Structure 1
């Protein structure tokens, strides 16, 4: 059954940095190719990732892959700072800047194109949200436009029938994207303070999170596991399978 189309595909080459919207992507066993494949570690917390939770301004740093993608090695990861400077993600000047802003010692970690563990990604391979749910939440909140980037999904789906939160009813079922990829919806996405951070200016507004807690029991979006790998594209049809 046709349920909609792929409106936007977003991957985050660096965990907690702003992601890049791409026209196509490979779906690997772990999720989108390169998603959260690079990360900064907070040396003040043993083996802990530096995230928006501790350093909200991370949302204003934009990361993208530059160059040819392969299964042997990732392309170069380029980072644009809030001030518009461009660095390699491991550049000493960039790391020093972030250390000064966050008051934390920072190191780096990188995974391989064939394997990114669940820890950096989240609790599951892929997160998706729908346009109808975003629109409904905007009405519930009643303050500003709700930017879907606040929720850091990989897949943003435009529904054929605009039924908000219908994706939660599909938990336990599979959907097919394009001609190859199948994913299974496995659970609700519990939300944290990250959604309070405006992705454009890093300003925080706790009222959005309070709305999600009150109206949606702190659930927004769903997690999915990869069943069949392959290529997906913006505008691909999305089908709910029997």
Structure 2
């Protein structure tokens, strides 16, 4: 049964930084190629990941891969700062800037292209959301356009039947994306304060989170685990296998 197609693919080369929208990528055993493969550690908290929760301005830094994806090593990983400067992700000047702004001591960690553990990614491999649910939350919030980047989905699905929150009924079902990739929906995405942070200016507004809590039990999006790896592309059809 055809349910829709991929509207957008977003991967996040650096955890908690703004991701990059790509036209195609590989789905690995752990999720999108290179997703959350690079991260900063907060040494003031014994090496926990530095995230938007502690330092909300991270949403204004954009990370991107520059070059061809490789299974041997990642392409060059660049960061564009809010001021428009471009650095390698582990550049000393960039790290110093992040330390000064966050008031934390920072170190770096990088995983292999073949393996990124679940911890840096989230609680599961891939996060999906639907255009119908995004439109409904925007309607219910009633304040301004809801930027999908607040929810940090890997895949935005354009549904054939525009039924808001229909994905909440998909847990346990399997899908096929394009001609190769298969996934199984495994759980709701419970939301935290990160969705309150405006991706453009890093300002917080708790009313959006309150809306998600009230209208959909604090769920937005759905996690899926990878069953079969392969390539995906914007526009690929998504269909149920059961």
TM-score by length of 2: 0.99
Deviations 1:140-179 (A, max 9, x none): 1111111111000100000011011111111100111100
Q: Structure 2 matches for 1:214-225, cutoff 5 A?
A: 214-225=214-225
Give the secondary structure class of the aligned counterpart of 1:7. strand
Unmatched tracts of structure 2, length 5 or more = none
Aligned-pair Cα RMSD in Å: 0.6
Task: Quote how far apart the aligned CAs of 1:47 are.
Answer: 2.5
Give the secondary structure class of the aligned counterpart of 2:44. coil
Task: Quote how far apart the aligned CAs of 1:216 are.
Answer: 1.0
Task: Quote how far apart the aligned CAs of 1:214 are.
Answer: 1.1
Structure 2 distance, partners of 1:202, 1:217, is 25
Give the secondary structure class of the aligned counterpart of 2:158. strand
Structure 2 distance, partners of 1:138, 1:63, is 27
Number of equivalenced pairs = 242
Give the secondary structure class of the aligned counterpart of 1:44. helix
Structure 1 outlier segments of 4+, above 3 Å: none
Give the secondary structure class of the aligned counterpart of 1:135. helix
Structure 1 distance, partners of 2:6, 2:217, is 27
Q: Which residue of 1 aligns with 2:174?
A: 174
Q: Which residue of 2 aligns with 1:90?
A: 90
Structure 2 distance, partners of 1:68, 1:142, is 41
The answer as to 2:239 corresponding to 1:213 is no
Structure 2 distance, partners of 1:175, 1:148, is 22
Unmatched tracts of structure 1, length 5 or more = none
Q: Which residue of 2 aligns with 1:40?
A: 40
Q: Which residue of 2 aligns with 1:198?
A: 198
Structure 2 distance, partners of 1:57, 1:65, is 21
Task: Quote how far apart the aligned CAs of 1:240 are.
Answer: 1.4
Structure 2 distance, partners of 1:181, 1:78, is 28
Deviations 1:24-57 (A, max 9, x none): 0100000000000000000101120000001000
Give the secondary structure class of the aligned counterpart of 1:119. helix
Q: Which residue of 2 aligns with 1:21?
A: 21
Structure 1 distance, partners of 2:163, 2:211, is 19
Task: Quote how far apart the aligned CAs of 1:211 are.
Answer: 0.7
Q: Structure 2 matches for 1:1-242, cutoff 5 A?
A: 1-242=1-242
Structure 1 distance, partners of 2:41, 2:14, is 11
Deviations 1:195-225 (A, max 9, x none): 0001111111000001111111111100000
Deviations 1:124-153 (A, max 9, x none): 000000000000111111111111110001
Structure 1 distance, partners of 2:157, 2:115, is 26
